[in-house]
Structure 1
Amino acid sequence: MPLIRSRKHNPGRYLAALTLAGMAVTAAAQAESATENGDHDNPVTVTGHHERYKSDTVSSPKKTEALVDTPQTVSVISKELLSDQNAVTLTDALRNTPGITMQLGENGSTSAGDTFQLRGFSAQSSIYLDGIRDLGAVSRDVFNVEQVEVAKGPAGAEGGRGSSAGYINLVSKRPYLETRNHATVSGYSDGGLRASVDSNVRLGKTSGFRLNIMDQDVDVPGRDYVKNSGYGVAPAYGLGIGTDTRFYLLGQVVQQKNLPDGGLPVVGLAGYHSNATQPTPAVISNAQLALNNAALSAAAPVDSRNFYGSPNDYEKVDAAMATSIIEHDFADGVHLVNTTRYGQTSMDRVLTGVNGTNAAAASFNPADPSTWAVTRSRQRVDQDNRILASATNLTASLDWGSWTHDVSAGLELTYEEQQTKTYGTTGLVIPAASLYHPNVNDTLPVPVATGAATDGDTTTVAGYVFDTAKHGPWLLSAGLRLDTYTIHTNNTAATGATAIAPLKDSRTIASWNIGAVYKPRRNGSVYISYATSLTPPGGSNFQLSSTAGNLANAALDPTETDNFEIGTKWDVFRDHLSLTAAWYNTQAKNEISLQDPVTLLYAQIGKREVSGIELGAVGQLSPKWTVSAGVQTMHTEIKQGSTGNNAQGAATRWSPDLTATVWTTYKVTKRLTVGGGASYTSDQLLVVNPETDLSTYNGLPKIPSFVVANAMASYDLTRRIELQLNVYNLFDENYIQSLNNGGSRVTKGQPRTATLTAHLRF
Structure 2
Amino acid sequence: MSFIKSRKKIVSTAILSTLSAVANADNNATQLPTIDVKAEQTQGLKVDSSANTKYVAPLLDTPKSVSIISKQLIEDTQVTTLADALRTVPGITLGAGEGGNPNGDRPFIRGYNSEGSMYVDGVRSGASQNREMFAVEQVEVTKGSSSALGGGGNASGNINLVSKLAKAGDSIEGTIAQGTDDYRRIVLDGNKDFGNGIAARVVAMGHENNKAGQDNGAEYKRAGIAPSISIGLGTPTRATLSYYYLKTDDEPDSGVPYNNPRNYTAGTGEPINVKQGIYYGWKDRDFQKQENQIGTLKLEHDLTENLTISNIATYNKSKNDYIWTQPDDSQGNFLNPTTGQLGGDGVWRRVNSRTTDGDTFSDQLSLRGKFNTSILKHSFNTGVEYSKVDKDAGTYLVTDSLKPKQQIDKDGKPVVDKDGKPVMNNPIGGAVGVAGGACSSNPYYGLGKGAASHYWCTDALNPNANDPFLGTITKNARVSNTTTETTGIYFFDNIEINPQLLVDLGVRWDKFETELTTYKSGANLLPTPTVVNSDSDFWSYNAGITFKPTENSAVYASYATSATPVGVDSGESSESSPSLAIKDLDPEKARTIEVGTKWDLLNNKLNATAAIFRTEKTNTRVAVDANTTMNAGESKVDGVELGLNGNITDAWAMSFGYTYLDSELVKAAYNAKANEGLPLPNVPKNSATLWTTYQVLPQVTVGSGATYMDKVFGAKTSTSEKWVPSYVRYDAMARYNVNKNVDLQLNVNNLSDKRYFTKAYGSHYATEAEGRSAVLSVNFKY
TM-score bin, normalised by smaller chain: 0.7 to 0.9
Alpha-carbon shift at residue 380 of structure 1 (Å): 1.8
* In 1, Cα distance between equivalents of 2:527 and 2:208: 46
Aligned residue number for residue 557 of structure 2: 528
The amino acid that maps onto 2:654 is: V
Give the SS at the match of 1:731: coil
Aligned residue number for residue 669 of structure 1: 697
* In 2, Cα distance between equivalents of 1:386 and 1:205: 36
Alignment of 1:404-443 (within 5 A): 404-425=377-398, 429-430=427-428, 431-439=456-464, 440-443=466-469
Alpha-carbon shift at residue 367 of structure 1 (Å): 9.9
Aligned residue number for residue 465 of structure 1: 491
Residues 1:138 and 2:108 aligned together? no
Aligned residue number for residue 727 of structure 1: 748
Residues 1:276 and 2:263 aligned together? yes
Aligned residue number for residue 715 of structure 1: 736
Give the SS at the match of 2:715: coil
Alignment match of 2:591 (pick from 562, 584, 587): 562
The amino acid that maps onto 1:250 is: S
Alpha-carbon shift at residue 452 of structure 1 (Å): 6.3
Alignment match of 1:111 (pick from 102, 106, 117): 102
The amino acid that maps onto 1:186 is: A
Aligned residue number for residue 746 of structure 1: 766
Alpha-carbon shift at residue 303 of structure 1 (Å): 5.1
Aligned residue number for residue 519 of structure 2: 492
TM-score, with normalisation over the residues of structure 2? 0.84
Deviations 1:52-76 (A, max 9, x none): 1111111122111000000000011
Q: Gaps (5+ residues) in structure 1? A: 1-7, 32-46, 267-271, 280-292
Is 584-593 or 440-449 further displaced after alignment? 440-449
Alignment match of 2:683 (pick from 627, 650, 655): 655
Distance 1:336 1:648, change over 3 A: farther
List, as ranges, runs of 4+ consecutive aligned residues in structure 1 with deviation greater than 6 Å.
20-24, 296-299, 360-370, 646-651
* In 1, Cα distance between equivalents of 2:200 and 2:585: 50
Is 14-23 or 607-616 further displaced after alignment? 14-23
Aligned residue number for residue 503 of structure 1: 532
Alpha-carbon shift at residue 186 of structure 1 (Å): 0.9
Alpha-carbon shift at residue 192 of structure 1 (Å): 2.7
Give the SS at the match of 1:221: coil
Aligned residue number for residue 148 of structure 2: 157
Alignment match of 2:157 (pick from 166, 176, 192): 166
The amino acid that maps onto 2:760 is: L
Distance 1:627 1:221, change over 3 A: same
Distance 1:594 1:322, change over 3 A: closer
Alpha-carbon shift at residue 442 of structure 1 (Å): 3.2
Give the SS at the match of 2:195: coil
Aligned residue number for residue 180 of structure 2: 189
Aligned residue number for residue 631 of structure 2: 604
| Counterpart contact for 2:180–2:775, Cα < 8 Å | yes
| Counterpart contact for 2:599–2:607, Cα < 8 Å | yes
Alignment of 1:114-125 (within 5 A): 114-125=105-116
* In 2, Cα distance between equivalents of 1:453 and 1:427: 21
| Counterpart contact for 2:533–2:578, Cα < 8 Å | no
Alpha-carbon shift at residue 426 of structure 1 (Å): 6.7
Deviations 1:437-492 (A, max 9, x none): 22322325355455761111111221111112112111112111111232121111
Deviations 1:719-754 (A, max 9, x none): 322110000011111111112211x32211111111
Aligned residue number for residue 513 of structure 1: 542
Give the SS at the match of 1:638: strand
| Counterpart contact for 1:90–1:140, Cα < 8 Å | yes
* In 2, Cα distance between equivalents of 1:578 and 1:751: 33
Alpha-carbon shift at residue 407 of structure 1 (Å): 1.9
Alignment of 1:115-514 (within 5 A): 115-223=106-214, 224-266=216-258, 272=259, 274=261, 276-277=263-264, 300-302=273-275, 304-356=277-329, 359=332, 371-425=344-398, 429-430=427-428, 431-439=456-464, 440-443=466-469, 445-449=471-475, 453-472=479-498, 473-494=500-521, 495=524, 497=526, 499-514=528-543
* In 2, Cα distance between equivalents of 1:325 and 1:72: 27
The amino acid that maps onto 1:59 is: A
Distance 1:651 1:558, change over 3 A: farther
Give the SS at the match of 1:157: helix
Alpha-carbon shift at residue 411 of structure 1 (Å): 0.8
Alpha-carbon shift at residue 603 of structure 1 (Å): 3.3
* In 2, Cα distance between equivalents of 1:301 and 1:544: 37
| Counterpart contact for 2:392–2:478, Cα < 8 Å | no
| Counterpart contact for 1:308–1:433, Cα < 8 Å | no
Alpha-carbon shift at residue 717 of structure 1 (Å): 1.6
Aligned residue number for residue 452 of structure 2: none
Give the SS at the match of 1:241: coil
| Counterpart contact for 1:231–1:255, Cα < 8 Å | yes
The amino acid that maps onto 1:641 is: A
The amino acid that maps onto 1:474 is: L
Deviations 1:527-561 (A, max 9, x none): 1110111111111225743343xxxx212111000
* In 2, Cα distance between equivalents of 1:14 and 1:497: 40
Alpha-carbon shift at residue 660 of structure 1 (Å): 0.7
Distance 1:49 1:301, change over 3 A: farther
* In 1, Cα distance between equivalents of 2:710 and 2:336: 39
Aligned residue number for residue 712 of structure 2: 684
Alpha-carbon shift at residue 645 of structure 1 (Å): 3.6
Deviations 1:698-732 (A, max 9, x none): xxx21111110100000012232211000001111
Deviations 1:331-367 (A, max 9, x none): 2411222111111011111111110275579999969
The amino acid that maps onto 2:649 is: S
* In 1, Cα distance between equivalents of 2:692 and 2:249: 34
Alpha-carbon shift at residue 385 of structure 1 (Å): 1.6
Alpha-carbon shift at residue 675 of structure 1 (Å): 0.4
The amino acid that maps onto 1:216 is: H
The amino acid that maps onto 1:578 is: N
Distance 1:243 1:297, change over 3 A: closer
Superposition RMSD in Å: 3.2
* In 1, Cα distance between equivalents of 2:596 and 2:335: 61
Alpha-carbon shift at residue 193 of structure 1 (Å): 0.7
The amino acid that maps onto 1:516 is: I
* In 1, Cα distance between equivalents of 2:506 and 2:272: 57
| Counterpart contact for 2:271–2:765, Cα < 8 Å | no
* In 2, Cα distance between equivalents of 1:357 and 1:505: 34
Distance 1:204 1:21, change over 3 A: closer
Alignment of 1:510-659 (within 5 A): 510-542=539-571, 544-548=577-581, 553-596=582-625, 599=626, 601-642=628-669, 645=672, 652-659=680-687
| Counterpart contact for 2:323–2:396, Cα < 8 Å | no
* In 2, Cα distance between equivalents of 1:479 and 1:422: 42
The amino acid that maps onto 1:433 is: T
Alpha-carbon shift at residue 688 of structure 1 (Å): 2.9
Alpha-carbon shift at residue 589 of structure 1 (Å): 0.4
Percent identical among aligned pairs is: 27
Give the SS at the match of 2:73: helix
Alpha-carbon shift at residue 608 of structure 1 (Å): 0.8
